[in-house]
Structure 1
Amino acid sequence: MQRKTLTQFLIEQQRAGDMTADLRLLIEVVARAVKAISVNVSKGALAGVLGEAGSDNIQGEAQKKLDVIANDILIQANEWGGHLAAMASEEVETIQAIPRDYPKGGYLLLFDPLDGSSNIDVNVSVGTIFSVLRCPGDCQTPTEASFLQPGDDQVAAGYAVYGPSTQLVLTVGRGVHGFTLDREMGSFIYTHADMKVPEHTQEYAINSSNARHWEAPVQRYVAELQEGKTGVRGKDFNMRWVASMVADVHRILTRGGVFMYPMDEKSRSKGGKLRLMYEANPMAMLMEQAGGAATTGRERIMGLKPEKLHQRVPVIMGSRNEVERVTGYHNDA
């Protein structure tokens, strides 16, 4: 039986009327950039790409060499194709305009070029996250305001996880689909059809070193999980924490669970830890398309109207019943 490639899958989606030709080509370009990033990640020390870049990003965080490399790969791959009006990267303060000598299209691309980059030097999974919006109004001169659309307006979202194999997981609003990179063929192969988040779970992902800073609803929820079979939940839970959102969310999307980076006293002044436009919205779209849920603890993430390009929010996402339980605790409080 012939294996279906990403290109074949996307063409079928286009023929079914689920996406335009330009959106299909845009996703293919992002996938090619992901392959290039995967090569650099896999070479590691052999290519001299580990360690600090000697610069900070807009968040004030020290950049790794691979942060810069991945950002450049995504920009260079996407700026000339004619599908985009502009781009925005978590690593850069302002939007990335399309050079004047290149044609412009009707879409906006946002991305976190290398999520979890603190794991690079210890050879633990990292990833890339992306989100696609339609460009409103004049697509010849888009501004930062053009990007400030709620997550519900996304036309596509996805991530790549660079682990033992490189996987690309995406949605165009008709379910969630996974592809695995065949390194010999150089193609993404359709390996995970119509992915669904399991409803019932015994796993959760949270940075427990911040426990003393959590709000009461999160402390209540996690305490219940830790009580195990003798507690109100009547079963044991395992905690898993990779410190790479892509890796943690990919595990939950595959076998269920809840991922939490909630509001706490350390991040309150910033509005939260994770970036709404580059991380929370695209991952929330994937979770909802897979039958899960995603909230800030108090409201649905994709219903938020962004106020600025690098806005941060608390994030709770995963199996619907668990997300609704911890969100209910916030509402009770």
Structure 2
Amino acid sequence: MSSEVASPMSPLGANVRKGKAATVFPSHVRRSFKHHPTDYTGELVRLLDDLSLVTHGISAHVAEADEQIRYGKVGNQKITSDFVTREVYHSLANDGYACLILSKGTQAPLTFPEYVPHGGYVVCLSPLSYDSLNDHFLSAAGTVFSVYKRKSSASLPGRSMDLQQNLGDQVAAGYCVYSSATTLYYTLGQGLYSFVLHPLARQYFLQPNHKLMWEPNVTCVYLDRNLLREDTPLAHAVKKFVQDHNLRVGDSGCAVVNVALCIQNGGLLVWKDAHLLCEAAPISFLVEQGMGVAVSDQGQRVLDLKSVEGNYHAPLTICCGPASAVEEICATMQSLQK
């Protein structure tokens, strides 16, 4: 299956009414924040602005890396997870909106120097997800982020207690897919929205101009096919679901791209060994904002789980999709465990 991800609509805004300006990402965040404020300092709004701006540069570097693979040497910057983490860290280091960054690729949480301002939020980051089985083709990749309120005293460097969070307490989450079009999906807890990066204006435009909803009819199951060979209740339940409904099984090779394909086409997603705070939590939050359901391989609602000290990098297999499909799989898992 091709890993190319098309934008939800034309980047130029084909459905924008005449005389009505298109909505850019910063305006949409401020409008949503105005109706449902999380804080009264505006830190969260500016933090999301910074994260969206970082993805502009990452998108260009991913495109450059792909051009280098296809046509020979272009530039000298190798795109890696560490590089993306550094870009995010340097962007947030002096702004004073975040106090701590937990990156999937870094064992220890990243704190900021004592001489810089420390904000009221914690950022969890999966810096760069791509097809690890195809090192010679970087046509699609993705970044996932999640934001929590800090628990320790304000104006001080972040502490380990700031990572001991209930997964349902996220105040914002999103992911960005870098492909033929760069698309940003995000939520502030008031619905799921997507934005397409205009290649010339270098702005994210709202497309389509309404909330995204998870398609109720499953057309495909997106997962790593190796999971179906495992002897686990989830693997048997998913295999039975595929056979009973005569469904296709697909995998782009990149879990973040699989999420985008599920939202676009209607599907069921099984993400094996997702990072608890940096992937499983934000994706589950986004799925539920799109009226879907996300459960663990034990049938528990993901957003009911909690991170505790020492398990910040714990893996968690999740199953996401329409409520009816996930409930059917959970029922099959329960019957197999009896």
Please indicate, yes or no, whether the TM-score normalized by the shorter chain is above 0.5: yes
CA contact (8 A) 2:284 2:303 kept: yes
Match of 1:318 among 310, 317, 321: 321
Superposition pairs of residues 110-125 of structure 1, within 5 angstroms? 110-116=124-130, 118=132, 119=134, 121-125=136-140
CA contact (8 A) 1:109 1:132 kept: yes
CA distance in 1, matches of 2:109, 2:236: 38
CA 1:328–1:223 in structure 2 vs 1: closer, same or farther (change >3 Å)?
closer
Code of the residue aligned with 2:268 in structure 1: it is: V
Q: Report Cα offsets for 1:126-183 as digits up to 9, x if no partner.
A: 1000000000132314222311212101000000000110011000000001100012
Q: CA deviation at 1:314?
A: 1.3
Code of the residue aligned with 1:311 in structure 2: it is: A
Q: CA deviation at 1:224?
A: 4.0
Runs of 4+ in 1 over 6 A off after TM superposition: none
Match of 2:45 among 2, 5, 24: 24
Match of 1:163 among 172, 176, 179: 179
CA 1:291–1:120 in structure 2 vs 1: closer, same or farther (change >3 Å)?
farther
CA 1:120–1:104 in structure 2 vs 1: closer, same or farther (change >3 Å)?
farther
CA distance in 1, matches of 2:171, 2:86: 24
The more displaced of 211-220 and 319-328 is: 211-220
CA distance in 2, matches of 1:93, 1:39: 27
Code of the residue aligned with 1:306 in structure 2: it is: S
Q: Report Cα offsets for 1:158-214 as digits up to 9, x if no partner.
A: 000001100110000000011000120011111132000011112101212343324
Q: State the match for 2:271 in structure 1.
A: 261
Matched, 1:91 2:105: yes
Superposition pairs of residues 100-249 of structure 1, within 5 angstroms? 100-116=114-130, 118=132, 119=134, 121-139=136-154, 140-192=156-208, 193-226=210-243, 232-233=244-245, 236-249=246-259
Code of the residue aligned with 1:85 in structure 2: it is: C
Q: Report Cα offsets for 1:285-333 as digits up to 9, x if no partner.
A: 0000100010013201111111321111111112221111112222222
Q: 5+ unaligned residues in a row in structure 2: which ranges?
A: 1-19, 69-73
Code of the residue aligned with 1:289 in structure 2: it is: Q
Q: 5+ unaligned residues in a row in structure 1: which ranges?
A: 51-64, 227-231, 263-272
Q: State the match for 1:47 in structure 2.
A: 75
SS at match of 1:284: helix
CA distance in 1, matches of 2:191, 2:152: 28
CA 1:77–1:217 in structure 2 vs 1: closer, same or farther (change >3 Å)?
closer
Higher RCO by CA contacts (8 Å cutoff, separation 6 or greater): 2
Q: How many residues align?
A: 302
Q: CA deviation at 1:37?
A: 0.4
CA distance in 2, matches of 1:214, 1:78: 44
The more displaced of 118-127 and 163-172 is: 118-127
SS at match of 2:294: strand
SS at match of 1:35: helix
